[in-house]
Amino acid sequence: MDAPDPLPRGGDDDPLIVALQRRLNRLRFDLHDGPQQEVHLLAQDLRLFRRQLGPMIDGHPDRDRALGRLDDLDAQLVALDADLRRLSTAARSPLLEESLADGLAQLAEAFHRRTGIVPRTEVSGSVDELTDSQQIAVLSIVRESLSNIRRHSEADNVEIAIAAGEESIVVEVRDDGSGFAPEVEAPAAARSGHLGLVGMRERTEMLGGRTEIDSVPGGPTVVSASLPRWPAEPA
């Protein structure tokens, strides 16, 4: 059982309403970090397949029909992505089907398959007794950071470091890519419905921690987060 999340400071809001809103926000980010990312990757793979298939079937009488069918599937994925954005509830985070170590390995492998880059991963300290919320936060930060690197960074090297101490958990994802201006691009992304960078910050804050994004155009970029640690209570 997780320790209770810290309530927002200040204000006289009903604690029940505050807790409910916090839970809804958390589920929204779980959805973004899980199924929505998978749909996005599937759509990218489908579009790549369409581009590869086109030249292979040039001259075939059913070429236009086959490519049209792929376009239909692409449109269905776009519609599914829109539906996922509207959902605000989920039973369990999709990031917690395995252990934290297994989850990190799967994220690194998926990143390698799509970019050819093998992230250097280092885990220190004991992560076995982290709560579900802490594990979700760690995996979410790593996953969103790798997703942004894959889409925008053009990096050659990526490093993931997780240090679990007695009082805190520190997560850091570093890349040597093109960099960006967080103070400009993060608010613009949030206004357009892309919650990744904002979601990392809000998820960490809900657990009493903080997230920092250190980057400038030209790079490098370092995403770091620190969470206060409390052990999961035994069942």
Let me know: does 227 contact 204? Beta carbons within 8 Å. Answer: yes
pLDDT of residue 43 exceeding 50: yes
Spatial distance between the Cα atoms of 84 and 27, rounded to a whole number of angstroms:
12
Instruction: Say yes or no to pLDDT of 70 above 70.
Output: yes
In this prediction, residues 166-192 reach a mean pLDDT of 79
2 pLDDT above the threshold of 50: no
Give mean pLDDT, residues 188-210.
Answer: 70
Average pLDDT over residues 66-73: 90
The mean-pLDDT minimum among 26-30, 67-71, 178-182, 205-209 falls in 26-30
Residue 157: what pLDDT?
95
Q: What is the mean pLDDT of residues 45-59?
A: 90
| pLDDT value of position 30 | 64
| pLDDT at site 82 | 73
Residues 6+ apart with CB under 8 A from 154: 177, 178
Buried b (16+ CB within 10 A) or exposed e, 73-103: eeeebeeeeeebeeeeeeeebbbbeeebeeb
At residue 58, does pLDDT exceed 70? Answer: yes
Q: Above 80 in pLDDT, residue 131?
A: no
| pLDDT above 80: residue 186 | no
Burial of residue 163 (CB within 10 Å: 0-12, 13-18, 19+) is middle
In this prediction, residue 92 has a pLDDT band, given cuts at 50, 70 and 90, of: very low
In one-letter notation, the amino acid at residue 81 is: D
pLDDT of residue 37: 72
For the chain, give the mean pLDDT.
Answer: 77
> 3-class secondary structure for the chain?
CCCCCCCCCCCCCCHHHHHHHHHHHHHHHHHHHHHHHHHHHHHHHHHHHHHHHHHHCCCCCCHHHHHHHHHHHHHHHHHHHHHHHHCCCCCCCHHHCCCHHHHHHHHHHHHHHHHCCCCEEEEEECCCCCCHHHHHHHHHHHHHHHHHHHHHHCCCCEEEEEEECCCEEEEEEEECCCCCCHHHHHHHHHHCCCCHHHHHHHHHHHCCCEEEEEECCCCCEEEEEEEECCCCCCC
- The answer on pLDDT for 183 being more than 90 is no
Q: State what percent of residues in the chain have pLDDT above 90.
A: 22
